[in-house]
């Protein structure tokens, strides 16, 4: 008879904490006291702003265990928060992790999740310095808080964009949404490049070094990360800066795998690029005279920067199609309570 795999209920909260503590050093630059006390004690770099962001990933809402490994899940949930720090041109420093776990959760699952968190943190020189564990009734919940830093003269907000600025995006758009369509069975399988699209959904790349370089350059006026789809996040940036915008559909950077899958599925690839969400690229605004310099700066970090539109006196928001016709950009992006 094969023994059932041990669960978190078998070792209890403190036994699980002891196991996880071995995976999270909780020490490093700026850490006066890490895991083991009631709170972490951290030394903030003098002359810097403290950045704070938090995000929760709830099983059944943000992920399905059947479609992602626990280590990939750990990396993904931390990457999403690191992307927020990148959008402010900041440097991530420390993270807190709170887990809501059903009693039947296998210990091996939690340990693999922790390994993924630790790996992503290591890649971006971020220390996991504490958190919490609680029992959840029926589903896994991973709640992450990341603290970062930025010099006041380098921070970028959503509020600095001006009419006439160009709209620029890093990387390619829509790949994550297309990957989700593959995982959820909404498109044909075995299309060339589908593994790439799935990987872009499972593990986004937070543009930390790019965001920091953009902030240090002083050439951009506003920045936001692309979590809600280009249409949604252009809307957020435009509303906060009190401007309008025109996005040029034929300029959107679309990968070859995305185009191939859209063709096989009979889907307009612009829908994934404009409204898909979870690309976690950066959207920034800058005066036209700074675009070339910014593109060269970003390219030095192995990332493309594409001019996809411009800001106007507004407040109208448009997408201009290849035939020159303009349509309302729309804001059909993810909302939790819609």
- Per-residue pLDDT 10s for the chain (338 aa) are 345 789 988 888 888 888 888 888 766 788 999 888 889 999 999 999 999 999 999 998 888 888 899 999 999 999 999 999 999 999 999 999 999 999 999 999 999 999 999 999 999 999 999 999 999 998 999 999 999 999 999 999 999 999 999 999 999 999 999 999 999 899 988 888 999 999 999 999 999 999 999 999 999 999 999 999 999 999 999 999 999 999 999 999 999 999 999 999 999 999 999 998 899 999 999 999 999 999 999 999 999 999 999 999 979 999 999 889 999 997 544 343 34
* Euclidean distance between CA atoms 248 and 159, whole angstroms: 22
Say whether 305 sits in a helix, a strand or coil.
strand
- The whole-angstrom separation of Cα 77 and Cα 190 is 27
pLDDT of the residue at 116: 97
CA distance 316 to 334: 21
Q: CA 152 → CA 62, 77, 125, 155, 218, distances in Å?
A: 33, 27, 21, 6, 12
CB 204 within 8 A of CB 303: no
CA–CA gap between residue 247 and residue 318 (Å, rounded): 6
Note the residue count of the chain.
338
Give the pLDDT of residue 26.
66
Q: Distance (Å, rounded) from C-alpha 168 to C-alpha 252? A: 10
For residue 302, what are the contacts with CB-CB under 8 A and spacing of at least 6? none
The gap between the terminal CA atoms of the chain, to the nearest Å, is 49
Q: Using an 8 Å Cβ cutoff, are 286 and 156 in contact?
A: no
Which two structure tokens, joined as six digits, stand for 252? 């959107």
User: How many Å apart are CA 187 and CA 209, to the nearest integer?
Assistant: 34
The pLDDT of residue 4: 75
* Side-by-side strand order, sheet with 166-170: 222-225, 282-286, 166-170, 305-312, 244-248, 317-320, 326-328
Distance between CA atoms of residues 237 and 169, nearest Å? 13
Give Dmax over CA atoms of the chain in angstroms.
72
Q: Give the helix/strand (H/E) hosting 170.
A: strand 166-170
Q: What is the pLDDT of residue 334?
A: 38
Q: Domain 11-150 is classified in which CATH homologous superfamily?
A: PurM-like, N-terminal domain (3.30.1330.10)
- Residue 92 contacts residue 144 (beta carbons within 8 Å): no
Q: For residue 79, what pLDDT is reported?
A: 97
| Residue reference for tokens 């699952």 | 109
- Looking at domain 166-328, its CATH class is alpha beta
- Tokens read off for 32: 């006066």
Kindly state the helix (H) or strand (E) to which residue 167 belongs, with its residue range.
strand 166-170
Cα 207 to Cα 209: distance, rounded to the nearest angstrom: 6
DSSP-derived 3-state class of residue 139: coil
Question: Residue 284 corresponds to which tokens in the numbers above?
Answer: 């920034």
Domain boundaries of the chain, sorted by first residue: 11-150, 166-328
């Amino acid at each position: 008879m094969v023994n059932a795999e041990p669960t978190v209920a078998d070792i209890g909260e403190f036994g699980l904490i002891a196991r996880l503590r071995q995976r999270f050093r909780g020490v490093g630059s700026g850490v006066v006291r890490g895991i083991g006390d009631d709170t972490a004690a951290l030394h903030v770099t003098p002359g810097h702003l403290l950045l704070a962001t938090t995000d929760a990933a709830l099983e059944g809402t943000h992920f399905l265990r059947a479609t992602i490994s626990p280590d990939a899940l750990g990396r993904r949930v931390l990457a999403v928060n690191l992307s927020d720090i990148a959008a402010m041109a900041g440097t991530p420093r420390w993270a807190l992790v709170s887990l809501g776990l059903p009693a039947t959760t296998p210990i091996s699952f939690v340990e693999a999740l922790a390994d993924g968190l630790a790996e992503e943190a290591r890649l971006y020189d971020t220390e996991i310095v504490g958190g919490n564990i609680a029992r959840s009734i029926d589903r896994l919940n991973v709640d992450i808080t990341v603290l970062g830093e930025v010099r006041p003269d380098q921070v970028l907000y959503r509020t600095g964009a001006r009419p006439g600025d160009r709209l620029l995006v890093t990387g390619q758009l829509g790949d994550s949404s297309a990957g989700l369509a593959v995982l959820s069975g909404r498109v044909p399988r075995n299309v060339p490049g589908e593994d790439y699209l799935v990987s872009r959904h499972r593990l986004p790349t937070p543009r930390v070094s790019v965001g920091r370089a953009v902030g240090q350059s002083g050439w951009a006026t506003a920045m936001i990360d692309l979590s809600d789809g280009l249409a949604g996040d252009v809307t957020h940036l435009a509303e906060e800066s009190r401007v309008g915008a025109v996005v040029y559909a034929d300029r959107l950077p679309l990968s070859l795998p995305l185009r191939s899958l859209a063709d096989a599925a009979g889907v307009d690839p612009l829908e994934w690029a404009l409204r898909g969400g979870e690309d976690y690229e950066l959207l920034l605004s800058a005066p036209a005279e700074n675009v070339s310099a910014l593109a060269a700066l970003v390219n030095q970090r192995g990332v493309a920067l594409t001019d996809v539109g411009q800001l106007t006196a507004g407040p109208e928001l448009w997408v201009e199609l290849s035939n020159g016709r303009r349509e309302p950009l729309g804001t059909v992006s993810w909302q939790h309570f819609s």
